[in-house]
Structure 1
Amino acid sequence: MTFTTLSTDEHDMLRDAARTFAQRELNPGTQRQRRGQNPPFDPATWQAMAAMGWTGLLIEEPLGGAGAGLQAFCTVLSELGRALPAEPLVACGVLATVAIQGSDNTALREPLLRGIAAGHELPALAQEPASRGASGVRARRHMAGRWLLDGELRFARPGHGATGHLVLAGTPDGPALFWLRHGLAGVSTTHEMLTDGSDAAQLVLTGVALSDAELLVPPGRATAVVQRAVDAALIATAAELLGLMRAVFEQALDYLRTRRQFGVAIGSFQALQHRAVDLHIQHELTSALVERASRLYDEGSAELSMVAAHAKARAADAAQHTVREAMQFHGAMGYTDECDIGLYLKRSLSLAAWLGNPSEQRKRYAALRFPIATTTTTSTTAVS
């Protein structure tokens, strides 16, 4: 898909709109109020985001989107991330959207994308096996044009509120991607609360009958389609983490200016100033990497997977480092549930783990960047 290149002024307008929306409509403390609720986000806020055009930023204009690309999406996310939005903008607007865009099944693809752009469809991509070593979901031909699916998948986001699931299932010819509308017979769904108060779904499929009409991506292409979707979501998550760490940093600086010890503001202590400067450097490095990664996605770069892993690893590490430092600046009160810093900590932990934590991303980056060296090391280890 070819995206419309936005000018600097248009990016600034998007940024200003997102900042104003976050200040007016979002509040980090909302996470406390919506823990364990069904859904753990505000449907009215989701509709407002759709009305702003954000759910359709990656969707082509004929289907109700803007076709603006991932750079534009990251511009919005880096502002919304400051206010810890509970709405599944990355899960639906990026991860699921990019997976659906890889489909050749026009009769299924176009209505889903129209629904996402309008805010009516909230699909969740289910691709992670329930446990390490498990096979996940398997699909087998039942008869001509019919499939039977069995197995388990975990950590599908959003949990509550999803209108259906994009299920990656193994077949004798390779993985395939299916669309399972919510309420389908044979699908058992349980929900687990995540660290930040949001939730994810675990699916158990038992003899789920589907037709070729529900086959989004056939065997042979599904792996590449899902990988591109995951890469886009990793970059988008890095952008959200960038907004999160900037908000925490601003709160920490305000506290350093106002908290007094020994008759002076603690921000006057040189040791704390040096730590604050180190955090600022991390934020600028992360910002540059997110900008580069999102641009390469829009350009269709062959290095996408590598830069996506790099962006997610750096953003997750920088965000968690920023939150830990901010909590120390706040002292004991930073560890209380009433202090918003704790909410930022929980969100950073949840986002850092989603789709692969920093350690996993660094391993993936190394395998992509140095494939021969990685293969040689693995072979040597096996022999020894």
Structure 2
Amino acid sequence: MAVLNEEQRMLRDGAEAWALDRAPVTALRRLRELDGQTGFDPDLYAEMAEMGWTGILVPEEFGGSDFGHLSLGLIVERLGRTLLPSPLIDSAVAAVGALRLAGNAAQQERFLPALASGELVAVLALDEDRRHPQRQVALAAERDGDGWRLSGVKRPVPFGMAAGLFIVPARTTDGVALFLVDGDAAGLDRRALREVLPRGAAILSFDNVAVGPDALLSPPGEGQGVLDRVLDRACICQAAEMLGAAVQAFETTLDYLKTRKQFGRIIGQFQALQHRAANLYAELELTRSAVEAALAALDEDGDDIPVLASLAKALAGDTLRRMATEMIQLHGGIGMTDEHDAGFYLKRARVADMSFGNAAFHRERYARLCGY
């Protein structure tokens, strides 16, 4: 397990206390009932920004703390336990990572302070179909004088209904490039996409959207390399959030096994159920090791980041899906009802698994990177 310093332990404990007090699973239930288009509670996100969470990966000169990916991973794991929907990973990890890796001085000075303060939500507009198109970008970018024109569709774009800035991979005649597109750009149409859990997903249609030369984040031919590095950061932090959800599902189920009586006995006394719980616990510990190793590699800028990223995301996807399924089964009849939280963990397992590439995608990528 990762060795934490005193500041990281305080950050972890503070995030856990805040999530339990301000963002329990009932917050997710309220969002579902409101059926709002943003997919998150702006007031809660503002509180997260006030605590500095949105600026943990932002350099100090731009208003952040530059506290590292492991520190942010500790936070998103705690938020994952209560299934809080927020654009923290999409904006404070993916968007910040893209600007830090490829942004010029002017772009960083313009956007990083706003991202650190939470005033701006920026998201990666990547997917174009049901499958993760990491190397199949189809949205077209054509030169228009000194600028560019973008045409195509991105779907689904998480938190796309609330984002003020989009980082858009597009295909040029010279390869993939990354563009910064304002949410109010002429010719950009966004349409809400209803999903099983609220996350403000949108379908973005680009109809000859004109952008200037200052919108080019990564030149043609270099965008794919930057995109791969950004996605590694995002999927590692997504795996940390999934780990938190799996841990909470396990602990809730374990408490139920210790209190539920059937046939005159506590059901946790039945050896068959004990074996199932032991197997789940082993999977959780294996996943934690992979996630924390990947987070540490990001902070150390290790050469094995891509391998560890796919390992962590694949394990987290399988573990959360199995844990959520077992949670429903071991809770019996009440686990099948909407009044119980078990169903929400299964829904989150499905949605999170598809974010930044599902377990099958990352198993194949892991094998390829390892030379198999």
Residue aligning to 1:114: 113
Residue aligning to 2:179: 178
For the pair 1:15 / 2:12, whether they are aligned, the reply is yes
CA contact (8 A) 1:128 1:136 kept: no
Per-residue deviation, 1:136: 2.5
Residue aligning to 1:228: 229
Unmatched tracts of structure 2, length 5 or more: none
Per-residue deviation, 1:131: 6.2
CA contact (8 A) 1:156 1:202 kept: yes
Structure 1 pair 104/252, CA: closer, same or farther in 2 (3 Å)?
A: closer
Deviations along 1:348-384, one digit per CA (max 9) or x if unpaired, are 11101111111111001111111xx5xxxxxxxxxxx
CA contact (8 A) 1:130 1:152 kept: no
Residue aligning to 2:279: 278
- The answer to which of 165-174 and 102-111 deviates more is 102-111
TM-score normalised to structure 2 length: 0.94
Trace 1:39-78 onto structure 2 (pairs within 5 A): 39-78=38-77
Per-residue deviation, 1:242: 0.8
Secondary structure of the corresponding residue to residue 140 of structure 1? strand
Amino acid of the residue matched to residue 290 of structure 1? V
> Following the alignment from structure 1 to structure 2, what is the Cα–Cα distance between the partners of residues 158 and 51?
20
> Following the alignment from structure 2 to structure 1, what is the Cα–Cα distance between the partners of residues 129 and 213?
26
CA contact (8 A) 2:242 2:316 kept: yes
> Following the alignment from structure 1 to structure 2, what is the Cα–Cα distance between the partners of residues 270 and 213?
64
Residue aligning to 2:23: 26
CA contact (8 A) 2:193 2:200 kept: yes
CA contact (8 A) 1:29 1:340 kept: no
Per-residue deviation, 1:7: 5.2
Amino acid of the residue matched to residue 78 of structure 1? E
Residue aligning to 2:311: 310
> Following the alignment from structure 2 to structure 1, what is the Cα–Cα distance between the partners of residues 217 and 42?
27
RMSD: 1.7
CA contact (8 A) 1:150 1:208 kept: yes
Identity of aligned residues (%): 38
Residue aligning to 2:350: 349
Amino acid of the residue matched to residue 230 of structure 2? A
- The answer to which of 256-265 and 99-108 deviates more is 99-108
Residue aligning to 2:78: 79
CA contact (8 A) 2:317 2:352 kept: yes
CA contact (8 A) 1:102 1:217 kept: no
Per-residue deviation, 1:197: 2.5
> Following the alignment from structure 2 to structure 1, what is the Cα–Cα distance between the partners of residues 211 and 227?
20
Residue aligning to 1:380: none
Amino acid of the residue matched to residue 326 of structure 1? M
Deviations along 1:218-252, one digit per CA (max 9) or x if unpaired, are 12321111111110111101100111011111111
Residue aligning to 1:140: 142
Per-residue deviation, 1:263: 1.5
Residue aligning to 2:360: 359
Per-residue deviation, 1:103: 2.4
> Following the alignment from structure 2 to structure 1, what is the Cα–Cα distance between the partners of residues 327 and 217?
45
Amino acid of the residue matched to residue 101 of structure 1? R
Structure 1 pair 296/161, CA: closer, same or farther in 2 (3 Å)?
A: same
Trace 1:178-257 onto structure 2 (pairs within 5 A): 178-257=179-258
Per-residue deviation, 1:105: 2.5
CA contact (8 A) 1:103 1:109 kept: no
> Following the alignment from structure 1 to structure 2, what is the Cα–Cα distance between the partners of residues 335 and 95?
35
CA contact (8 A) 1:309 1:364 kept: yes
Per-residue deviation, 1:11: 1.6
Instruction: Name the count of aligned residue pairs.
Output: 366
Residue aligning to 1:378: none
> Following the alignment from structure 2 to structure 1, what is the Cα–Cα distance between the partners of residues 167 and 260?
50
CA contact (8 A) 1:155 1:201 kept: yes
Residue aligning to 1:103: 102
Per-residue deviation, 1:207: 1.2
> Following the alignment from structure 2 to structure 1, what is the Cα–Cα distance between the partners of residues 242 and 188?
33
CA contact (8 A) 2:161 2:191 kept: no
Residue aligning to 2:302: 301
Deviations along 1:168-191, one digit per CA (max 9) or x if unpaired, are 111112211111111111111112
